[in-house]
Structure 1
Amino acid sequence: MPAHPHVLPAPPALTETERDLARWEDDGGPAVHTRPGPQAGQWLRIAAALTERLPELAGREDVIVTCEEQTRSGAPAAFFPTQAALEIDRSLFAPLKPAAINPTQVGDEENYPVAWGAFTHEAAHAAHSRWTTPPELRGTALDAAAQLLEESRAEHAHLHRRPGDRRYLRAAVRTLVMDGFTSNTPTDRWQAAGAAGLILARRDAGILDPDETEPLQQTVTAVLGPDLLNTLAGIWTAAHTTADDNDRAMLEHARAWCQALSADPAGPEPAPDPTGRRGELAEVIGKVVGAVMANEAAQAAARSRSEAARTARTRAKAAQAAHARQAAETAEKVFAPGARPFTPDSQRERARGRRALSPVTGTRPPTRAEKAAAGQLARALRAAAYRERTVTVTASAAPPGRLNMRGALARDAQKAAGATPTAQPWIRTQRRQGPTPPLRVGIAVDVSGSMRAAAAPIASAAWIVAKAAALTDPDSRSATIAYRRSLTAITTPGRAPTRVTEFHADGGGHSLAEATDALTAGLDLMTPGTGRLLVIASDGCYRTHEAAPAAERIAALRASGCAVLWLAFDPDPHPLPGTTLLQLTDPAQAAPAISKAATAALAATNP
């Protein structure tokens, strides 16, 4: 059975070099002068950090951890109960450089799962291996069997406290198991039982998966037979439920193990069978370890993808929040009372040296036709916002409600028959008026030089929509922004205009993205529950740096459920993606078109 020097009653005997280094100076001084390596300080820091982290794994604060270039036990990691010491081989952290290792930082163990798995295994021994083999039995087959059973028992107990450490123990399975099996290991009963006690017992402890251990299951079944393997499985299962300090029970389990394999408990371990096929166990355990590593790699990749997706969502939310704050600031500057034209940062460089002039040329009283159009639109919006009353019919055994005679007779019959009455003869009908959704309409009108013919019709439409919204519902709002390089408010949210604001179109540039931001923030166009509509009046002849950000804003609005209408008057319009194009031959048709779209948006709203 392979040696498992993970829990040693005492450290190995000192070497000659160690004894020389331990001599006092007055006895002649150390016979050997050693110089610490260039990274010795880093490994001392790592060992101190591991010592600091050990209590969270083992629940003990008295254990000192050391990182050795070559462990004294010869194992990759070991725990010395009598000295409360734990050693770990530095090579387990490869290929990381010591400066890149920081166990003090929780989560850093993700960078060296194999080393952390071996560390966790020894921490499990520190927490749960509270029994020892009597000195007179050490080195016997009984001792070897007991230490074998303790391997999976300690990990099983550890997982009950810290189930999240499973993946680290799995990552270290090669380190904890494979070193004991080589190409010279014969496939005899004692060795096969040892492989089962190390691998299949970890399966039953919840560390490995059945599909990963299936190759070894078949091999040891062929060597031991199903009955003997079931007997051994019963022994390690019983060991998993044994208390940490119950040395008598653990020794009895080890005795039963030896007896099942016809080995003398008081004698040495059985000698390897020279006729056994050599290397078979190492090969099949290699397959098990390979399957475990492949599954761990797949799970690590899945965790990495999940973490990347979570990080991307977090960044997207942060970017969205930052954009919302920027949009709110833009809306505040554009819609502030008496505000001058606002030039966004994206246009400041192009507008440098030029004063942002307002396209507004003045105001006029609304015409009779415009007043009539506003009233007609208000009536249409109120009709679109109306929701039928919801009717709820409930049945009950007692009033209030309308008595249903058939149900009453059925209830009387149930009572006469001595049965529990279940009929509910009283029918109650409740009618509730549904909520009326408000309207949100944002109009962005292009006032570059190519839109000169649309200026007067859009100014009229802006007043009509704003007036109708104010007449429809106290919570309904609309706003209009004239955009070129700068943004100028024509109508503002929550303020019913008394006069029509007129403007001309003779500017340059297109700040549609920023105009959309201001309208979105000022009217809350992203929030469901209202009739939401964004109207863009433009020919769409934009440069790439102007069209791309505007298309992103439009896509976000459409995704939130806001309708986006593109009004075009040019014979060859270029609407941005995601908009509903309405090409008008006469700019005077703008007001009816906007009114129709607003009514449709309100009618389709689910409050």
Structure 2
Amino acid sequence: MTTLVPAHVHHHPPAVTETEEALARWEDDGGPLYDPVPRPDAAEWLRISAELTERLPELAGREDILVTCAPGTLSGAPAAYFPATANLEIDEALFTPHRPRTLHPQRAGDEDRYPVAWGAMIHEAAHAAHSRWLTPTVPRGTAQRAAAEMLEESRAEAAHLARRPDDRRFLRATVHTVLMADMMANAPADRWQAAFAAGLLLARRDAGILDPDESEPVETAVTAILGPDLLAQLAAIWKAAHATADDDTEAMLAHGQAWCQALGQQPQAPEPPLIPGGSGPDGGDGALTEAVGQTVRAVRRNEQAQAAARQHADAARHNRARTKAEHAEQQRQATQIAGQVFAPGARPVLPGRRPDKRRKLRTPVTGTRTPTGAERAAAGRLARALRTAAYRERTAIITASAAPPGRLNMRQALARDAQQAAGAVPSATPWIHTQRKHTPTPPLRVAIAVDVSGSMGAAAGPIASAAWILARATALTDPDSRSATVAYDRALTAITAPGRTPARVTEFEATGGAHRLAEAIDALTAGLGLDHPGAGRLLVIASDGHYNPDEAASAAARITALRTARCAVLWLAFAPGARPLEGATFLELTDPAQAAAAISTAASTALTTANRA
């Protein structure tokens, strides 16, 4: 065969193989029994063939085609389609380096592992779906028929891409791995073969399979052999072929004839023989071969870059989906913990465990007391500061008009009179109206997490006082404001539940172990909606920050998430040497009454954030 690429569509049944001959002799005249040598992976390839047959209808839109995978093919091409027998064959070698037992084509997405083999099947499926023009009367081997069949290669792929544009990357893999490798081996350099290279490669560019930058070296080399005018004439032929109907035999043969005439070749004459090695009479010196190689490398490079980009995008989608699932699971667990912690009459709760009525955890709460005058005064001052921080100035809406009401702008009035005197349509607007509008003040959502581990023993009294001052002040700010307080060590204990204003100061002792700050933040977030906009949101953590790395990492992740959700985080310490987590505003206090001003500043920041949300 003299063409650059073996034919992919065979209108006659495949030739009889030696195996079939041996079987026929045994059946007809008692010849020696054929005893094939079994292959260890033959069953796997039969399974693969069956699974490819199941997937083919989605590619070709036909259910009558049988796919066969075998070592080598009857046609000699890496893949081929036989319309007479509705059979599609694929060389097993295209699946290299995968072992047959690892191939599962029936699974959508498995084809990503062997794009060359899948691209070959797509190419043949394109022929099965679109190469429906009848077997030509022109004999095989003539220049006209060879040209028509060559034009059909890109025409079928163009028609396929119109139906399934996402198959482009697989067709590209087949082009640069199968078609171009054969062209590199045969080194086309004369006019006929250079024209065929253009019809196979540049036509695929115009079909949308190759990119212009990839085919540019081939275009330059072909132009040097054929000249720009002849190349433009050939391009017009393959573009006309792309627009030809699937079953228009006469048009495709006419395109083949026009191709031959453009190259000065007799249509009914035998196809010109292949001149190897770049020694054609038209001065070919291997430049086209090198250009094909550059195109091969460019396509491979671009495909690798695109594959890396797809992998990166897939990984990013997977990470987003995993993050979303983890966030949903965390929210579910947080809601469950909040329900246990803030349940009426709830006792201390171990996060992640079901309440055990037979084993009650020791509560850190030791009792309650009446707030002192100083604490009441501090709560009142903090409430006034929070109301001031929550107050919003009225917004002014200024509109200009040609008629009252409003304030008269004399400059605009004179301009309007001048326009009227000149006979022009007046456009000046002398009346300025200002409308002031009150904007709603957002309520507060204040969450307080109190560390009651053993290291906080000396600060238990001041923290209890500061927690009451903050909760009381929040309640005095606005009827819709809410606060909640949770004490945490290895367990969580509700000091005040959302919406309940403490009348007395809850006292506790700090003798526990471990630090479940992350779970305490989850409970407070779910109970008060700290991650939802529409309110001024503030999380106050009273702790020395002496946590193990795992505890600190979990709590820091929750703080970062709240900061991302535009919730302010304030860290209070009542002794030197505290280690606040990153993302929180740190305040060291020795007197609970001093916390009012500092918390007021933090609340102002929270309200400002809520206003901008």
Q: Taking structure 2 as the reference length, what is the TM-score of the superposition?
A: 0.90
> 2:317 aligns to what?
310
Say if 1:413 and 1:242 are closer, same or farther in 2 by CA, change over 3 A. Answer: farther
Measured after TM superposition, the shift of residue 407 of structure 1 is 6.2
Q: Distance in 1 between matches of 2:24 and 2:438?
A: 93
> 1:540 aligns to what?
545
> 1:561 aligns to what?
566
Say if 1:479 and 1:10 are closer, same or farther in 2 by CA, change over 3 A. Answer: same
Measured after TM superposition, the shift of residue 189 of structure 1 is 0.8
CA contact (8 A) 1:183 1:278 kept: no
> 1:189 aligns to what?
191
> 1:95 aligns to what?
97
Q: Distance in 2 between matches of 1:411 and 1:121?
A: 74
> 1:72 aligns to what?
74
Matches within 5 A, 1:112-151: 112-132=114-134, 134-151=136-153
What amino acid is aligned across from residue 222 of structure 2 in structure 1?
V
What amino acid is aligned across from residue 13 of structure 2 in structure 1?
P
> 1:110 aligns to what?
112
> 2:557 aligns to what?
552
Matches within 5 A, 1:478-517: 478-517=483-522
CA contact (8 A) 1:11 1:73 kept: no
> 1:336 aligns to what?
343
What amino acid is aligned across from residue 484 of structure 1 in structure 2?
D
Q: Distance in 2 between matches of 1:541 and 1:182?
A: 69
The question of 1:374 aligning with 2:379 is answered yes
- Superimposed CA distance per residue, residues 563-582 of structure 1 (whole angstroms, 9 cap, x where no aligned partner): 22222222322222222221
CA contact (8 A) 1:447 1:505 kept: yes
Measured after TM superposition, the shift of residue 23 of structure 1 is 5.4
Measured after TM superposition, the shift of residue 600 of structure 1 is 4.5
Matches within 5 A, 1:131-210: 131-132=133-134, 134-178=136-180, 180-181=182-183, 183=185, 185=187, 187-210=189-212
- Superimposed CA distance per residue, residues 70-115 of structure 1 (whole angstroms, 9 cap, x where no aligned partner): 2111111111122222111111111112222222222221111101
Say if 1:16 and 1:364 are closer, same or farther in 2 by CA, change over 3 A. Answer: closer
- Superimposed CA distance per residue, residues 465-516 of structure 1 (whole angstroms, 9 cap, x where no aligned partner): 2222222222211112222222222122111122221222233332222222
> 1:525 aligns to what?
530
Q: Distance in 1 between matches of 2:29 and 2:110?
A: 45
> 1:8 aligns to what?
10
Say if 1:465 and 1:154 are closer, same or farther in 2 by CA, change over 3 A. Answer: same
Q: Distance in 2 between matches of 1:43 and 1:193?
A: 39
Q: Secondary structure at the match of 2:610?
A: coil
Measured after TM superposition, the shift of residue 237 of structure 1 is 1.5
Q: Which moved more, 1:563-572 or 1:92-101?
A: 563-572
Q: Which moved more, 1:212-221 or 1:499-508?
A: 499-508
- Superimposed CA distance per residue, residues 242-261 of structure 1 (whole angstroms, 9 cap, x where no aligned partner): 12122222212111111121
CA contact (8 A) 1:151 1:198 kept: yes
Measured after TM superposition, the shift of residue 369 of structure 1 is 3.4
> 1:327 aligns to what?
334
CA contact (8 A) 2:566 2:609 kept: no
Q: Secondary structure at the match of 1:441?
A: strand
Q: Secondary structure at the match of 1:508?
A: coil
Measured after TM superposition, the shift of residue 273 of structure 1 is 5.1
Measured after TM superposition, the shift of residue 136 of structure 1 is 4.1
CA contact (8 A) 1:364 1:502 kept: yes
Q: Distance in 1 between matches of 2:379 and 2:65?
A: 83
Measured after TM superposition, the shift of residue 120 of structure 1 is 0.8
- Superimposed CA distance per residue, residues 173-210 of structure 1 (whole angstroms, 9 cap, x where no aligned partner): 13442354355545111111111111111111111011
> 1:578 aligns to what?
583
Paired residue for 2:453, among 441, 448, 457?
Answer: 448
Q: Which moved more, 1:527-536 or 1:274-283?
A: 274-283
- Superimposed CA distance per residue, residues 231-275 of structure 1 (whole angstroms, 9 cap, x where no aligned partner): 211211221111212222221211111112111111101234585
What amino acid is aligned across from residue 284 of structure 1 in structure 2?
A
Q: Distance in 1 between matches of 2:224 and 2:233?
A: 15
Measured after TM superposition, the shift of residue 49 of structure 1 is 2.2
Instruction: Work out the percentage of aligned pairs sharing the same amino acid.
Output: 66
What amino acid is aligned across from residue 264 of structure 1 in structure 2?
Q
Q: Which moved more, 1:148-157 or 1:376-385?
A: 376-385
Q: Distance in 2 between matches of 1:589 and 1:412?
A: 65
Measured after TM superposition, the shift of residue 147 of structure 1 is 0.8
Matches within 5 A, 1:375-524: 375-395=380-400, 428-524=433-529
Q: Secondary structure at the match of 1:498?
A: coil
Gaps of 5+ in 1: none
Q: Which moved more, 1:460-469 or 1:287-296?
A: 460-469
Q: Distance in 1 between matches of 2:91 and 2:128?
A: 17
Measured after TM superposition, the shift of residue 520 of structure 1 is 2.0
Say if 1:548 and 1:183 are closer, same or farther in 2 by CA, change over 3 A. Answer: closer
Q: Which moved more, 1:565-574 or 1:198-207?
A: 565-574
Q: Secondary structure at the match of 1:174?
A: helix
Q: Which moved more, 1:30-39 or 1:422-431?
A: 422-431
Q: Distance in 1 between matches of 2:176 and 2:565?
A: 52
CA contact (8 A) 1:141 1:258 kept: yes
Q: Distance in 1 between matches of 2:177 and 2:549?
A: 58
CA contact (8 A) 1:457 1:588 kept: no
Paired residue for 1:301, among 275, 285, 308?
Answer: 308
Say if 1:43 and 1:595 are closer, same or farther in 2 by CA, change over 3 A. Answer: same
Gaps of 5+ in 2: none
- Superimposed CA distance per residue, residues 427-479 of structure 1 (whole angstroms, 9 cap, x where no aligned partner): 55433211211112122222233323322222222222222222222221111
Say if 1:290 and 1:502 are closer, same or farther in 2 by CA, change over 3 A. Answer: same
What amino acid is aligned across from residue 253 of structure 1 in structure 2?
H
What amino acid is aligned across from residue 251 of structure 1 in structure 2?
L
- Superimposed CA distance per residue, residues 277-298 of structure 1 (whole angstroms, 9 cap, x where no aligned partner): 5755444322212211111011
Q: Secondary structure at the match of 1:545?
A: helix
Q: Which moved more, 1:416-425 or 1:168-177?
A: 416-425
What amino acid is aligned across from residue 308 of structure 1 in structure 2?
A
The question of 1:53 aligning with 2:60 is answered no
CA contact (8 A) 1:453 1:587 kept: no
Q: Secondary structure at the match of 1:322?
A: helix
What amino acid is aligned across from residue 105 of structure 1 in structure 2?
R
Say if 1:502 and 1:419 are closer, same or farther in 2 by CA, change over 3 A. Answer: same
Q: Distance in 1 between matches of 2:157 and 2:406?
A: 67
Say if 1:396 and 1:86 are closer, same or farther in 2 by CA, change over 3 A. Answer: farther
> 2:30 aligns to what?
28
Q: Which moved more, 1:470-479 or 1:268-277?
A: 268-277
Q: Secondary structure at the match of 2:502?
A: coil
Count of aligned residue pairs for this structure pair: 604
Q: Distance in 2 between matches of 1:419 and 1:18?
A: 98
Say if 1:50 and 1:450 are closer, same or farther in 2 by CA, change over 3 A. Answer: closer
Say if 1:603 and 1:199 are closer, same or farther in 2 by CA, change over 3 A. Answer: closer
> 2:297 aligns to what?
290
What amino acid is aligned across from residue 319 of structure 2 in structure 1?
A
CA contact (8 A) 2:570 2:586 kept: yes
Give 4+ residue runs of structure 1 displaced > 6 Å after superposition: 397-421
Say if 1:592 and 1:173 are closer, same or farther in 2 by CA, change over 3 A. Answer: same
Q: Taking structure 1 as the reference length, what is the TM-score of the superposition?
A: 0.91
CA contact (8 A) 2:158 2:208 kept: yes
